[in-house]
Structure 1
């Protein structure tokens, strides 16, 4: 899009979710590539309002890697590619010493200089306040009034002693509408062997419980209900039992048990003929399938029938059609941009979900179909073990509640 960016055709919105854990393990290589692809996406879609929700900020070894976060943030705030974004809010949950609160979430919001009137909600004062300048918050997010942050209770995922899973919510008012943006990280599959035992898996039940908790929390009576966009690493997995039974329908299964405990150590699926070739080897942290192309051909969409975890929430959450390959687990080898790791069954973990009223804002009849894009970033290069996922759309003038004069903005929400 050439020429000066204006909001005359409505407000351009770009939402991005990115699990960035890998970037802090190898900042010299991965981070440069990641930022280049991210900037390219921003330049292609040229949003007025840009929201980036990150998970695993600081990486898996966050005590050692957290120092790399500051340089990543500085680069984003000062880069040439972002110079037209005159206001920014950055929220980083970096306080890993506070185990009862630490989520490793990072939420970044950038506002283009052409967007004149934007306000952010103060949850303590219960009113919107004008956004000026660039501000970064870390360490004390629990007491930061412009967000709500919660870590899931420990008993939600007892297998993981110090789970970093939770959510951060912010609330925004553009000239034409107000909405909530929620950064979320749900529980992973701890063991492929456990995930395969039954359909749906025990892990999908844990994620369902946590997601239900978030939905109840962000739609309760404390504040006015607004459209919301929920984007992050949901860790949604394909139904393992059904996928494996389909991929290995003609194979025979061999069970290997540990000598000392007699527990199942691995499952080996072999072809009945063809020299009993191994089709799939399954271990706690191994999913080694003979033909990765099944996850890439036609963007893996033949496997979407096994992507079932969202169906429980079909009346409360919506998603645009997925037309990109599973977003996880990609190889972290910088030369293997399209290769999956043999650790997990590839799945669409990284998603952007919408409430019914938020979907209506995106799918307004006057919104041309081509102006709505739901896709991944960096499909051909290594972006770490997750490919970021984005949604680009326009909010047309007068689409939502009109806040033009400020009455809506400064009216206190009901208690």
Structure 2
């Protein structure tokens, strides 16, 4: 695994975000593939510190999937692939009976045996504590001192209906600097038709409000402000109306169908001009059936990034490295179709790793060779569920987190 590194090489960090709901729908097939690809990513990048932020832990039916969740956690903590990670912290929101609090978030942190004296923040005592051994926390994370967890206020939810959306924050100190890691899950698009009707869609405004809520919370005056990484399922979507009109169906006849009783939009049908009237795209509430998926895969779909605009609202607050991987959602859940998208949603980069300006300065340093920074997806050619996990691998050198350098002298790599 990571082996011995000199101080000059820095401390290897691997951040991963993964919506794992699909794994618990078909654990016999998908969990093995997912774990294999995750372990391979760890072995390739050889980090000292691994942070895995999961969303929808347990899938759609959490109560029925609880045993699968337990075996998934046990495997991660005891596998040969992770045996050199002698310390771990696992935080699972398992309180599914509490509609007011349940987020289905899971945050996993693994520390390599060569990383000495890493510390984690106790939010109640307001001080750092040395990380020793392996611990798993679940049920009522609201009272766990080493995490800050919140579900979004009910009036933030579209139509004020509860769903599993919120955030979990942890704080760490290593390599002479300290930083926050925030696991986040924002609101999805409930209907392709509603998303189409206005540009930008009403769903993007709900996500914007919730993300600002998180940023305000993690930068308020209760604790020292530190660099932060926010990674999870943001559910960011492409602006569907201009995507369809200018890229997917630039020369099509549009037929609009409405329901007889309510006159609400029920279907959009796009056909080629001409005698054959070839069907190009059909859109319904939970159907997005486009004739040619290659556009989402060619050159990693990056020609569509001009329609990925939800992050632009946070310019100056949040940064992201250049995206050079295909849209991370919605992939087929058929274990034999690793590169195919489901015909349910317009593919989009939902799963992201974002960072504050000071965190970006930690990642992108002159002494970092370009090849040491990798922002990519996991398992591009195999089925990882409906979301492809996304990772960021980088190294931090001692003092990288200035002005916090030399403040938290807590990490020695031997």
Kindly state the Cα deviation for residue 248 of structure 1 after the two structures are TM-superposed.
Answer: 1.1
CA distance in structure 2 between the partners assigned to 1:211 and 1:17 by the alignment: 16
Number of residue pairs aligned between Structure 1 and Structure 2:
406
Which residue is 1:6 aligned to? 5
Deviations 1:156-175 (A, max 9, x none): 11436331000000000003
Query: Are residue 107 (structure 1) and residue 107 (structure 2) matched?
Result: yes
Q: Secondary structure at the match of 2:276?
A: helix
Structure 1 segment 6-405 matched on structure 2, within 5 A: 6-8=5-7, 9-159=9-159, 161-246=161-246, 247-273=248-274, 275-400=276-401, 401-403=405-407, 405=409
In 2, the alpha carbon distance for the partners of 1:56 and 1:5 equals 36
The structure-2 alpha-carbon separation of the partners of 1:243 and 1:95, relative to structure 1 and needing over 3 Å to count, comes to same
- For the residues of structure 1 that align with 2:44 and 2:221, how far apart are their CA atoms? 39
Q: How far apart are the structure 2 equivalents of 1:154 and 1:288?
A: 33
More displaced stretch, 257-266 vs 363-372? 257-266
Give me the whole-angstrom Cα distance separating, in 2, the residues matched to 1:309 and 1:153. Answer: 21
What is the alpha-carbon distance in structure 2 between the residues aligned to residue 212 and residue 269 of structure 1?
A: 36
Q: Give yes or no for contact 1:154–1:163 (8 Å, CA) kept in 2.
A: no
Q: State the Cα distance separating 1:154 from its structure 2 match.
A: 1.1
- What secondary structure sits across from 1:58 in the alignment? coil
Cα contact 1:19–1:55 (8 A) shared by 2: yes
Q: Is the 8 A contact 1:7 1:115 kept in 2?
A: no
Question: How many Å apart are 1:5 and its aligned residue?
Answer: 3.3
Q: Which moved more, 1:153-162 or 1:307-316?
A: 153-162
Per-residue deviation, 1:273: 1.4
- Cα offset for 1:255? 1.2
Cα distance in 1 for partners of 2:319, 2:297 equals 24
**In 1, are the aligned partners of 2:177 and 2:408 still within 8 Å (CA)?**
no
Contact in 2 for aligned 1:238/1:306 (Cα 8 Å): yes
Aligned with 2:384: secondary structure? coil
CA contact (8 A) 2:175 2:397 kept: no
| Distance change in 2, residues 1:404/1:259 (3 Å) | closer
- CA gap of 1:169–1:252, structure 2 versus 1, over 3 A, is same
- Residue 405 of structure 1 deviates from its aligned partner by 4.5
Q: Distance in 2 between matches of 1:129 and 1:297?
A: 48
What CA distance in whole angstroms lies between the structure 2 residues aligned with 1:176 and 1:31? 37
2: distance between equivalents of 1:154 and 1:136?
28
What is the RMSD of the two structures over their aligned residues, measured on CA atoms?
1.3
Q: Distance in 1 between matches of 2:199 and 2:95?
A: 37
Name stretches of at least 5 consecutive residues in structure 2 with no aligned partner.
none
Deviation at 1:386, TM superposition (A): 0.1
Question: What residue in structure 2 maps to residue 411 of structure 1?
Answer: none
Deviation by residue 1:125-156 (Cα, 9 ceiling, x = unmatched)? 00000000000000020100001000001111
Whole-Å separation in 1 of the counterparts to 2:24 and 2:354: 27
Using structure 1 for the length normalisation, give the TM-score: 0.96
How far 1:62 moved relative to its partner? Answer: 1.4
The secondary structure found in structure 2 opposite 1:213 is: helix
Contact kept, 8 Å, 1:287 with 1:342, in 2: the verdict is: yes
1:412 corresponding residue in structure 2: none
CA distance in 1, matches of 2:280, 2:160: 31
Please give the alpha-carbon distance, in whole angstroms, between the structure 1 residues aligned to 2:21 and 2:268: 29
Give the distance between the partners of 1:191 and 1:161, measured in 2 at CA: 15
Distance (Å, rounded) in 1 between the aligned partners of 2:258 and 2:345: 20
- Counterparts of 1:389 and 1:104, CA distance in 2: 19
After TM superposition, give the deviation of residue 197 of structure 1 in Å. Answer: 0.7
Q: Are the equivalent residues in 2 in contact too, given 1:175–1:403 (CA < 8 A)?
A: no
Cα separation, 1, equivalents of 2:113 and 2:390: 25
What's the offset of the Cα at 1:339? Answer: 0.2
